[in-house]
Homo-oligomer: A and B are copies of this chain.
Amino acid sequence: MTAVESVGEFRFECGESIDDLRLAYETYGEFDGDNAVLVCHALTGSQHVSNAPRSEDHEPVTDGPDGGAEAADADADADVGTGVQTAGQARAWWDDVVGPGKAIDTTEYYVVCVNVPGSCYGSSGPPSEGPDGEPWGTEFPPVTVGDWTRAQRRLLDRLGVGRLHAVVGGSVGGMNAVDWAKHYPDDVRRVAAVATAARLDTQCLSLDAIARRAITTDPNWNGGDYYGDDRPNPDDGLAQARRIGHVMYLSKASMGRKFGRRAAGRGAFGDAPADPTDRFFPYREVESYLDYNADSFTARFDANSYLYLTRAMDEYDLAAGYGSDTEALAAFEGELLALSFTGDWHFTVEQSRALAAAARDADVPTAHHVVESDHGHDAFLVEPESVGPPLRDFLADGVDGRAVRDEREESDGSDGSGGHSGGPDRAPVHASLFPG
């Protein structure tokens, strides 16, 4: 059950306000006053983080302007929120990690996950209903990761949650998690920043900009005004954006292993695009895979939301307003776990290392746990066996948790042969990223 709560007037970082920010969220487990864990979703994720039983009572402690929560069945691809273009709820995106007896144990913690403003799973955003009863479209204010953090704080207030035991997030959700340590340094005990960075690098900024251009040059995008049953969506552009994103989420190694150069056989999804050279050259398995994924993505995600959320990710800079990452984290009273994956070129090990170093310089107890993996950025979603144990023990015991490794300790104990545990001064990219 997704609930939708109105948190009233909200002023965005850009200076624009809306009268009634609505937030779609899910909660799991029971709140005992000190066990709340906020989980932050990635770019195109949703509040639906787990198939675990929802909390018995997730009604807010104070009523919003509309008089309380509204619920919808998010599991069955039903519309949620304002009923605008939110069909195709993302499936429970971290069900292997969040649930009863799992790493983020919902019998122990009260888990909250909120769809970020600007998204399309029930929270206010471009496809949601604006003041005139029509979808906001591009009149919706630009959003930032900081806006997400402040909106989550507002919702948690309504739920009666003061200090959080932990905030956990991956990818841009990891930026969101780190942003909690910056914006509300007294409000969170432990921050787990998974496969993330203090800011995106130039290469990824470029690919995101290219992805947005794919949407805005689709004639059906129509300046962002494409809502309504009689209007075509900019599916070609959004599909292209997704294909580009998908390549960013995988590694050379995982793509090579999974698809190689094989031609798609019978039963492949999709057709070769209308390309004159099709009459001689094959449609490849990897294309079929990307096309299948892009097609299902256009059925569940809104093109304007994609523009808004990638912008929020691109603009995030932990140091903004402070001068350095360390200064931005100086007031943080909690502990930090940075978890990174050797095959991830979207958010690299080096970026996590730099984030961890900045936190240590701010006297934050910090561990940088490096997972040897060639799954690329997707590793944090598809390797629960790697991600779960350090998360579980970090939530329980902080950086001293049993399964939490810090790469500096590993280096000390290594044989110096340059294995994956390389410390800050070692060349950190691994053969698994780029197979021969």
- Which residues does A use to contact B, with CB under 8 Å? 14, 126, 137-140, 142, 199-203, 205-207, 209-210, 212-214, 216-219, 223-224, 236, 240, 243-244, 247, 250-252, 255-256, 258-261, 273-277, 279-281, 284, 286-287, 290, 304, 307-308, 311, 314-315, 317, 345, 348, 350-351, 353-354, 418, 427-431, 433-436
Contacts and interface: CB of A to CB of B under 8 A. Distances in A.
Contacts of A126: 276
Contacts of A277: 142, 307-308, 311
Given A214-B214, A428-B431, 12 more contacts: A201-B252, A201-B256, A202-B255, A202-B259, A206-B286, A206-B287, A209-B286, A210-B247, A217-B240, A348-B434, A428-B436, A429-B430
Contacts of A433: 429
A256 B345 CA distance: 14
B252 A203 contact: yes
B247 A350 contact: no
A interface majority secondary structure: helix
A431 B436 contact: no
A434 B277 CA distance: 36
B203 A436 contact: no
A273 B427 contact: no
B142 A202 contact: no
28 contacts: A14-B279, A14-B280, A126-B276, A140-B276, A142-B279, A201-B252, A201-B256, A202-B256, A202-B259, A205-B287, A206-B243, A206-B247, A206-B286, A209-B284, A210-B243, A210-B247, A213-B240, A216-B274, A217-B218, A223-B274, A224-B276, A275-B307, A277-B308, A348-B434, A427-B431, A429-B429, A429-B430, A429-B434
Contacts of A429: 429-431, 433-434
Contacts of A201: 252, 255-256, 435
B256 A213 contact: no
Nearest to A136: B276
B217 A287 contact: no
B209 A436 contact: no
Nearest to A417: B418
Contact of A203 (B199, B250, B274): B250
A218 B217 CA distance: 8
A139 B247 CA distance: 32
Contacts of A307: 275-277
A206 B256 CA distance: 11
A298 to B, nearest CB: 13
B212 A281 contact: no
A273 B307 CA distance: 12
B436 A354 contact: yes
Given A213-B273, A429-B431, A205 B308 contact: no
A206 B280 contact: no
B206 A317 contact: no
Contacts of A216: 273-275
A343 to B, nearest CB: 11
Nearest to A252: B203
A205 B255 CA distance: 10
Contact of A287 (B209, B273, B434): B209
A278 to B, nearest CB: 9
